[in-house]
Amino acid sequence: MDHLEYCLLGSIDACVGGRRLEIGPRKRRYVLAALLLDLNRPVPVERLIDAVWEGSPPDSARMTVQGHVYRLRRTLPGVRLERDASGYVLRADPERVDALRFRRLVAEAAGLGDEAGADLLDEALALWRGPALGGSGGGKALEVAAVELDEARLAAVEELARRRLRTGRPELAVTPLRASVTADPQRERLVSLLMTAFYRLGRQAEALELYERTRRLLADQLGVDPGAELQTTFESLLAAPP
């Protein structure tokens, strides 16, 4: 039988042989996500409750979580979801969870040279299908986890861009940077890197246009000027020959 694959870098899903399984309602997916984020470690029922409900959970929360665990066991073929003294533990190979594989690849890339590290970062970023944990919507524990994963993705995009620029391959930095800037236009470091990539490709006008668009956005939405890093990038491009 094909192994289960678990997806958290986008919607919360499980697949067998490339076929997406029908897990059930959102709260059941939140329970699965909380178990996967602590893969191979016992997760207390209280933590599962915190992952599912925002604010005060209902009196039936514990029984509801137990029901979702029961249904996950019935729905996911071959799943190893065991009862522990303090809660539940889902046992699986970490490589079968895209979020854990992403973190491993990023960690390995940090110890490699620019070319090999960039290739691993490309592989890591290719695992993403959308906002982490489907944009969450669950309890505070899942919201925090989703923010941390999304931040790790942006940091990986930045590191990939720096490596591509250092190795003289700005064309390979533009696509992931542009997508990330579109999604998070106020992240000035991404904007600075994209401006630099544009300039290295002989697209100075696009770089300066991006700066002006970002400057207006920061002024209109936050009432602030560009920070020192972005301002320095802008000034260096102005001073550079066209």
Q: Which residues contact 84 (CB under 8 A, 6 or more apart)?
A: 42
Domain span at 198: 170-242
**End of a domain among 165, 195, 221?**
165
What per-residue confidence (pLDDT) applies to 1?
A: 40
What CATH number should be reported for the domain holding residue 94?
A: 1.10.10.10
Residue with tokens 């700066």: 211
Residue with tokens 């409900």: 53
HSE-up (13 A, CA, CB side) for residue 200 = 20
Q: Please check whether residues 80 and 160 belong to one and the same domain.
A: yes
Distance CA 71, CA 54 (A): 22
Q: Please check whether residues 155 and 216 belong to one and the same domain.
A: no
- Token pair belonging to 89: 């533990």
Q: Please check whether residues 143 and 194 belong to one and the same domain.
A: no
**End of a domain among 130, 165, 200?**
165
What region does 223 belong to: left with phi over 0, alpha with psi -120 to 50, or beta? left
* pLDDT tens digits, one per residue of 110-166: 999 999 999 999 999 999 999 999 887 888 889 999 999 999 999 999 999 999 999
Dihedral sign from CA coordinates of 32, 37, 42, 44? negative
Q: Please check whether residues 195 and 106 belong to one and the same domain.
A: no
* pLDDT tens digits, one per residue of 70-110: 999 999 988 999 998 888 999 999 999 999 999 999 999 99
Q: Please check whether residues 128 and 32 belong to one and the same domain.
A: yes
Q: Please check whether residues 22 and 100 belong to one and the same domain.
A: yes
* pLDDT tens digits, one per residue of 24-64: 999 999 999 999 999 999 999 999 999 998 878 888 999 99
What CATH number should be reported for the domain holding residue 230?
A: 1.25.40.10
Question: CA angle 166-172-175, nearest 5°?
Answer: 125
The average pLDDT across 4-15 equals 94
What per-residue confidence (pLDDT) applies to 139?
A: 86
What per-residue confidence (pLDDT) applies to 242?
A: 65
Model pTM?
0.90
Q: Please check whether residues 17 and 125 belong to one and the same domain.
A: yes
Number of domains in the chain: 2
**End of a domain among 150, 165, 180?**
165
Q: Please check whether residues 78 and 35 belong to one and the same domain.
A: yes
